[in-house]
Amino acid sequence: MGFGFKIKYTKYIGFIEKLRNNMPEKKKKLSIIVFSGDFDKLTAVFTLATGAAAVDYEVNLFFTYWGFNAIKRKKGHAFTGKGLLAGIFNFLMGGFNNLPLSRMNFGGISPKLMTGMMKRRNVATLSQLLEAAKELRVNFYACEMSMAILGIKLEELITPVREVIGVAKFLKLSEGGETLFI
Amino acid sequence: MGFGFKIKYTKYIGFIEKLRNNMPEKKKKLSIIVFSGDFDKLTAVFTLATGAAAVDYEVNLFFTYWGFNAIKRKKGHAFTGKGLLAGIFNFLMGGFNNLPLSRMNFGGISPKLMTGMMKRRNVATLSQLLEAAKELRVNFYACEMSMAILGIKLEELITPVREVIGVAKFLKLSEGGETLFI
Amino acid sequence: MGFGFKIKYTKYIGFIEKLRNNMPEKKKKLSIIVFSGDFDKLTAVFTLATGAAAVDYEVNLFFTYWGFNAIKRKKGHAFTGKGLLAGIFNFLMGGFNNLPLSRMNFGGISPKLMTGMMKRRNVATLSQLLEAAKELRVNFYACEMSMAILGIKLEELITPVREVIGVAKFLKLSEGGETLFI
């Protein structure tokens, strides 16, 4: 006999909906391409990342370009990377301690002011958010191409970064979830 | 007997596809994290928001950081927010009437020029787009953490903003739709 | 008789999962709203676009605002577009040969330095990425509203741009895939 095409569609629909609702839910996913090295944008990145991880999302951060400012081991202006040009570029780019604000930076005073305001309001600072992200097992990935251009090696990045990947791998990781470019 | 495992897969697939196509469609969704306070980027935000709402999308705008420039009730440079630092910060940040261009701002002349060009071409200006967004029932949400840092209260925001939410709530709202960070 | 409501849910679920896994997969999709005209951000756009196209994604690029710098036929500072204001704006905006870096532009030296670093590391340069995108059949769309504001006609854009579309059409194209705003 068979499949019951005699039953009305509405019934089928209710049936399939019921199935759907009873299916084991897939883990939700948030993936962020961290392009920016600005203090305010990185604060947004880590606020989203920790907020999502706290409600049990899988979170993937893919650091590229200026985003490397957040994951370079040397936090000041340091002459790192293979080659003279890369060295100069990395030096000028700075690190975690020199993140500018995307607007109204006032020569670097603003990020310090903002950190002060955040402490006063009991809002987690950027360093605290980064630590929280590690503890919540947010996944840190470094962009292959940026590593090549900046002449940087994996050992020069902070420990949560365990893997260097390219675009294809990132797309696979982020598939089926929400993806942001920041 | 049962479920008809005797029937060929292709038949099942056709059947399920048919079901899928006959199911009441879920409302499509566009959610935007409005981080920027730049004139040009806000124009993009409201063009996307109204365009999507017009073709019957659910649209959620989550204003954070500089994006507050678009929703603060005081449109000029105003000393608002609790605390001295927050006051100064809000003053410098300005409001809807002081939105800079993300590039080639020329001391604030460009946004005015661009508004002129938009009027001439019969393209909706930013103020008109904001009004349209309200009428099309675009949802306005304010970021909890930004409110805390800037020391701002709900009453200081324009009326379409009805709720202050955090990351977890935003993720829930945006789930299953398209999400952008602007 | 019918549909076998006697069978346990777990069995149904396994059955539906099996169906799902055997269904012809939909083509994956990456859509990018190309708002920025910065050298570094455009490099990110075309790296993502070519990377995705290479692993068989449908890729849609929707050029708007400063993103027109990547698709205007005149690559230098050229007085194009209908009307005096538009002409001046287009002239100042420049084209493919004048893309600034979003940070540390140093009067336009940085993009040249970076291109040098990219060649040295055997990383594809922006021009090469643009060519690759064409060959990989990445879809180029120009934003209707930006065309109007800038007073530009389709003939003034590079050949891969075949269609001028609005927000509603873009949402339809990007539906069900990953969408980024860069």
Give B153-173 pLDDT, tens digit per residue: 999 999 999 899 999 999 999
Q: Tell me the C-alpha to C-alpha distance, in Å, between residue A103 and each of B20, B49, B93, C93.
A: 47, 24, 9, 21
Q: Is residue B166 part of a domain?
A: yes
Look at residue B23 and tell me whether its pLDDT is greater than 70: no
Look at residue A7 and tell me whether its pLDDT is greater than 60: no
- pLDDT of A18 reads 67
- pLDDT of B1 reads 40
For the record, the structure tokens of C9 come out as 């849910």
For the record, the structure tokens of C128 come out as 């090469």
More confident residue, B4 or C152: C152
- pLDDT of C154 reads 93
- pLDDT of B108 reads 80
Closest-CA residue in chain B for C148?
B121
Place of tokens 């409501």: C5
pLDDT (tens digit per residue) in B146-156: 999 888 999 99
Share of chain A above pLDDT 70, in %: 86
CA end-to-end distance (rounded Å), chain A: 56
* Segment among A76-80, B18-22, C91-95, C122-126 with least mean pLDDT: B18-22
More confident residue, C145 or A17: C145
Look at residue C113 and tell me whether its pLDDT is greater than 80: yes
- pLDDT of B2 reads 44
- pLDDT of B78 reads 85
> Cα separation of A77 and C15, whole Å?
58
Q: With an 8 Å Cβ cutoff, are C182 and A181 in contact? A: yes
Question: For B76-97, what is the mean pLDDT?
Answer: 85
* Segment among A3-12, B108-117, C62-71 with least mean pLDDT: A3-12
More confident residue, A140 or B101: A140
Q: What is the mean pLDDT of chain C?
A: 87
| DSSP code, position C72 | B
Is the dihedral angle over the CA atoms A12, A24, B31, A174 positive or is it negative? negative
Q: Is residue B163 part of a domain?
A: yes
For the record, the structure tokens of A116 come out as 């002060």
Return the exposure string of A91-127: e unless at least 16 CB atoms fall within 10 Å of the residue's CB, then b.
Answer: bebbbbebbbbbbbeeeeebbeebbebbeebebbbbe
For the record, the structure tokens of B62 come out as 């989550």
Q: How many distinct helices (H) and strands (E) make up chain B?
A: 7, 5
Q: Is residue A126 part of a domain?
A: yes
Look at residue A24 and tell me whether its pLDDT is greater than 70: no
Q: Tell me the C-alpha to C-alpha distance, in Å, between residue B85 and each of A34, A109, A113, B35, C50.
A: 29, 13, 8, 21, 46
Counted domains in chain A: 1
User: Which residues, 6+ apart, have CB-to-CB distance to A14 below 8 Å?
Assistant: none
Check CB contact of A90 with chain C, cutoff 8 Å.
no
Angle at CA A19, nearest 5°, toward A17 and A23?
120
> Cα separation of C118 and B161, whole Å?
46
Closest-CA residue in chain C for B33?
C181
Look at residue C7 and tell me whether its pLDDT is greater than 90: no
- pLDDT of A25 reads 64
Domain residues for A101? Answer: 28-181
Maximum separation of any 2 CA atoms in chain C, in Å: 78
Distance from CA of A55 to the nearest CA of C (A): 22
Q: Which helix (H) or strand (E) holds A54?
A: helix A39-54
Look at residue B3 and tell me whether its pLDDT is greater than 50: no
pLDDT (tens digit per residue) in A64-75: 999 999 999 988
- The top-scoring range by mean pLDDT among B65-79, C39-53, C110-124, C150-164 is C39-53
Query: What pairs with residue A141 in β-bridges?
Result: A62, A163
Task: Label the pairing between strands C161-165 and C178-181.
Answer: unpaired
Question: For B14-26, what is the mean pLDDT?
Answer: 65
Q: Is residue C9 part of a domain?
A: no
> Cα separation of A28 and A179, whole Å?
12
pLDDT category, B24, cuts 50, 70, 90?
A: low
Q: How many distinct helices (H) and strands (E) make up chain C?
A: 7, 5
Q: With an 8 Å Cβ cutoff, are A7 and C9 in contact? A: no
Amino acid at A64: T
Task: Label the pairing between strands A29-34 and A58-63.
Answer: parallel
For the record, the structure tokens of A58 come out as 């899988």
Place of tokens 């577009």: C81
Look at residue C9 and tell me whether its pLDDT is greater than 70: no
Amino acid at A159: T
Amino acid at A11: K
Q: What is the mean pLDDT of chain A?
A: 87
Q: Is residue B3 part of a domain?
A: no
CB atoms within 10 A of CB B2: 14
> Best mutation site among C145, C147, C175 for testing chain B: the one with the most B CBs within 10 Å?
C145
Q: Is C23 exposed, middle or buried (0-12, 13-18, 19+ CB in 10 A)?
A: middle
Of A142, B73, A35, A48, which Cα lies nearest the Cα of C103?
A: A35
Of C77, C111, C112, which Cα lies nearest the Cα of C95?
A: C77
Check CB contact of A179 with chain C, cutoff 8 Å.
yes
Identify the CATH number of the domain in which residue A174 sits.
3.40.1260.10
Of A49, A64, A15, which Cα lies nearest the Cα of A124?
A: A49
Look at residue C5 and tell me whether its pLDDT is greater than 50: no
Q: Is residue A8 part of a domain?
A: no
> Cα separation of B47 and B53, whole Å?
10
Maximum separation of any 2 CA atoms in chain A, in Å: 78
- pLDDT of B21 reads 64
Share of chain B above pLDDT 70, in %: 86
More confident residue, B104 or A98: A98
Q: Is residue C162 part of a domain?
A: yes
E-state strands within A89-174: 139-143, 161-165
Task: Label the pairing between strands C29-34 and A178-181.
Answer: unpaired
Show residues of chain B in contact with A120, CB under 8 Å: 83, 85
pLDDT (tens digit per residue) in A150-176: 889 999 999 999 899 999 999 999 999
For the record, the structure tokens of A152 come out as 């940087």
Check CB contact of B123 with chain C, cutoff 8 Å.
yes
Question: For B43-63, what is the mean pLDDT?
Answer: 97
Amino acid at C167: V
| DSSP code, position A72 | B
Share of chain C above pLDDT 70, in %: 86
Distance from CA of B76 to the nearest CA of A (A): 17
For the record, the structure tokens of A20 come out as 């759907």
Question: For C6-17, what is the mean pLDDT?
Answer: 62
Query: The pTM is what?
Result: 0.86
- pLDDT of A108 reads 80
Place of tokens 């769309």: C141
Check CB contact of A168 with chain C, cutoff 8 Å.
yes
Look at residue C40 and tell me whether its pLDDT is greater than 50: yes
pLDDT category, A4, cuts 50, 70, 90?
A: very low
- pLDDT of C4 reads 43
More confident residue, A106 or B46: B46
Distance from CA of A135 to the nearest CA of C (A): 28
Look at residue C20 and tell me whether its pLDDT is greater than 70: no
pLDDT (tens digit per residue) in A81-122: 888 888 888 888 888 988 998 887 777 888 888 888 888 888
- pLDDT of C162 reads 84
Angle at CA B75, nearest 5°, toward B71 and B80?
85
At residue C139, what are phi and psi to the nearest 5 degrees? -85, 125
User: Which residues, 6+ apart, have CB-to-CB distance to C112 below 8 Å?
Assistant: none
- pLDDT of C25 reads 65
Q: With an 8 Å Cβ cutoff, are C52 and A171 in contact? A: yes
Show residues of chain C in contact with A1, CB under 8 Å: 1
